A and B are shown apart, each in its own frame.
Chain A
Amino acid sequence: MSSYLERALSAKADRREFALGAAGALALGASGAGAQDEISEGGNLQIAIIGEPPAVADAVFTTATITNNIAQQMFEGLFTFDESFNPQPMLIEDYDSSADGLEFSFRLRSGITFHNGDPLTSADVVASLNRWGEINGRGRLIFDRMNSIEAPDETTVRMVFDQPSGVLPSFLARSEAMITPASVAEAAGAEQIPEDQLIGTGPFRFEEHAIDQYLRLARFDDYVSRDEESNGLAGRRTPYLDSIDFVPVPDESVRANGLITGEYHFADVLSADLAEMLELDPGVESINVQPYYWYSPHFNKAAGLFTNQALRHAVQLCFSQSESMLAGFGREEFVRFDASICGEETAWYSTAGSDAYDNPDLDQARALLEEGGYDGETVRWIATREYPYNFLMADYIRQQMEAIGMNVELVVSDWATLVQNRADPDAYEIFLTGHSQYSHPATQPFNDPTWPGFWESEAKTDLVNAMIAETDPDALSTIIDDYTTLVWEEMPFVKCGDNFVLRGRRAEVVGYVNVPDFFFWNVGLNG
């Protein structure tokens, strides 16, 4: 059995997909171009997703990843991300920005129409971004710095800021900064966009939604693609498929089995334990998505024990961060041991903090406990078994904390309870969660001092402001180094490591590019 397993694994090893690193991009880009010639038009793609998305496809309304991923098949923004997560023009032809990062002027591409046939104008962009600035956290961050946003003519959008905002294109490239007709944005306001008003400019349009059964998107026949070679989400977008069905399948073994039997062409988020099973099936390609998320226990810094920085450091020193990742995720090919809060595939990667990372020292940890005045108080760690890693990592770290004399109580509940409790500073000392490895550090939610964990720090606020303001990439790198150093000094959370997620696709799905936020333009069904 084991020799069969080995043969099967080695036979498939070269077909296993990994994300595009800078070096691999050229080779895969070339093979992608070759594959494009062979892609046949038509077909219905069945995609098994983890559950019913909140707000269907309104990524301004909700920050749920699944909604964002669906939305980006239908909606576009002024920018989008290339394979290195740099912002690239999407709905705009070009733009000017002042050297001080205070003024931006965007010129829209001509000939673009919405799914309802109306032409895209600058008034639509202004209305959509106004809604984004009103109800979305990251949009609010930008709009708080803004002096004015206006449409001087039909194809120009002008933004003037009170404070330098060089980061703007990175924020506008996120799927939540999506453009809808002005009438839709204005009518929706703080409410979610109704299904019949899900009108964008993207390669696929909303067709039908049977809740808990499928969400069907159909090819937008009048889609106007960019001409540049495709690169990540940027460049040419050709909708080959007639339609895409997103099928909510909450049970991951059903997603995996359905992929093997061909009922689904693509399955999102599968347990790493299923990797071997997928590898054995010649009709299935397993996809190791890098970068994806990183994980960390967050300390409650608003009340209780961990308002004391020495105690936060004691916890970091008492356990091996790499061991905690293995405890949570099991298989080494799906974890990476790294101190940076951005993946090495991004331009925001930093090696600052590497010395402190994964360097446990129990004696020093005990000394810090004493210095911090720890006197056997109970540490309430709120965890959930709904996501196995959440409990497994917490349980591993709990044991290490107890080994240095801390008293830890794991308070286990379901996710909905945890989300409520973590917002209450009196309810806990530690909770654990994940964050995107491929997001600009200024866009991380924990920068907001009202976000659970409550990281209030003048130095952090200054550095985040500097990151948002900076227009020069080299200067930005220095700021990110300083920010990462600060994370390891102030220790608002302990970065444990990176996790990659497993997805799977049928072999007949061609043209698929392995990016964290999946997309299905340039993708076809052959055979």
Chain B
Amino acid sequence: MVSFIIRRLVSMIPVMLMVATGVFLLLKLTPGDPVGVILGPDATEERRQALRDDLGLNDPLILQYVRWLGDAARGDLGDSLFLNQPVLTSLWERAEPTLVLTLLSTLVALSIGLPTGILAAQNRGKWLDMGSMGIAILGISMPTFWLGLNLILIFAVTLRWLPVAGYAPLSEGLWESLRYMILPAITLGVAQAALLARMTRSMMLDVLSAEYVRVARAKGLRERRVVYFHALRNALIPLINVAGLIFAALLGGAVVTEQIFNIPGIGRLLIQAVGRRDVPLVQGTVLVIAAIYVLVNLIVDIFSAVLDPRLRQT
């Protein structure tokens, strides 16, 4: 197991290097002037040039790349051009809102998606199956911004039960923080729940038609025990993979949801950084998101390996 983990960690290095190079080149090939955004519309050309020099934006591309990569290897992702603070500080400040949103949305997704998928599989072909899967397709197809705006209109503007947007840190109290997170967590969680429900149904159906399930039934076990003890455990392995990917995707920043609900998270940070051509901030954020993806995948693989001994040998 230890060698499995070490192997996977070492394989992260080329992945991260490729991501770093790709992002750097992509940003440098994209036109756009961070200095124009920082200095405002009336700044003189002379002043813009001076700031470009100060920020090292006029240096040769290869020099900028080597300098950035060298710093990144030492754990220094540079300073944000616009926010005037270290990139790591920017990311750290936004980690809490994004983490809270991710956990809550995953909770919403799991608590709706899993039972719905199991129920649908148990009732294959019946109205409960067709109805829940129809709703699931609706959930997957519904644009996040549309659902978010409607939730705001109903629960915040009309009923005034919850705030329109914003974020309260956990330090201000759990309930205060949750009040702001309920609508965005539902917005994000619903689409993922729909995906999870369809995946769960399909995995459960595969497993429920397996021979050992037939044997379990033939032994006279109660249906509930067959489904939850024998079938679900095996269906969980691929589902953990899906849940892990959902978690990683959400942790990488839910751009649209964070924008609509004005949550100062990683997604909003990234989209604004792109708009401002805040190159070090975009590079650093994408690198961190890539690292999160790789690490979450690793954790998922470890979990899967624990659950399924066959995987450890491959």
Point out residues on A near B: beta carbons under 8 Å: 51-52, 54-55, 61-65, 67, 135, 137-138, 140, 190, 192, 210-213, 247, 249-251, 253-254, 257-258, 260-261, 263, 386, 413-417, 419-421, 423, 433, 445, 448, 450-451
Contact = CB atoms under 8 A, between A and B. Distances in A.
Nearest to A64: B40
A448 B47 CA distance: 13
A466 B165 CA distance: 51
B41 A445 contact: yes
Contacts of A417: 30-33
16 contacts: A54-B37, A62-B43, A63-B41, A190-B50, A213-B264, A249-B262, A250-B268, A250-B272, A261-B160, A416-B32, A417-B31, A420-B36, A445-B42, A448-B44, A448-B45, A451-B45
Interface stretch (B69-77, B80-88, B102-110, B294-302): B80-88
B36 A419 contact: yes
B78 interface: no
A414 B32 contact: yes
B36 A416 contact: yes
B157 interface: yes
Contacts of A445: 41-42, 44
Contact of A250 (B39, B85, B259): B259
A54 to B, nearest CB: 5
Contacts of A415: 37, 275
B44 to A, nearest CB: 4
A51 B164 contact: no
A433 B41 contact: yes
Contacts of A63: 39-43
A54 B272 CA distance: 12
Interface residues of B, number: 49
A416 B273 CA distance: 11
A501 to B, nearest CB: 15
Interface string B28-66: 001111101111111111111010001000000000000
A211 B33 contact: no
A209 to B, nearest CB: 10
Contact of B37 (A140, A212, A416): A416
Contacts of B90: 211
Contacts of B160: 261
A67 B40 contact: yes
Interface string B86-120: 00001001100000000000000000000000000
A257 B157 contact: yes
Interface string B138-176: 000000000001001100110010011111000000000
A448 B260 CA distance: 39
A423 B260 contact: no
B198 interface: no
A152 to B, nearest CB: 31
A419 B40 CA distance: 10
A52 B93 CA distance: 15
B269 interface: yes
B33 A423 contact: yes
Given A52-B272, A249-B165, A415-B275, A261 B156 contact: yes
Contacts of A55: 38, 84
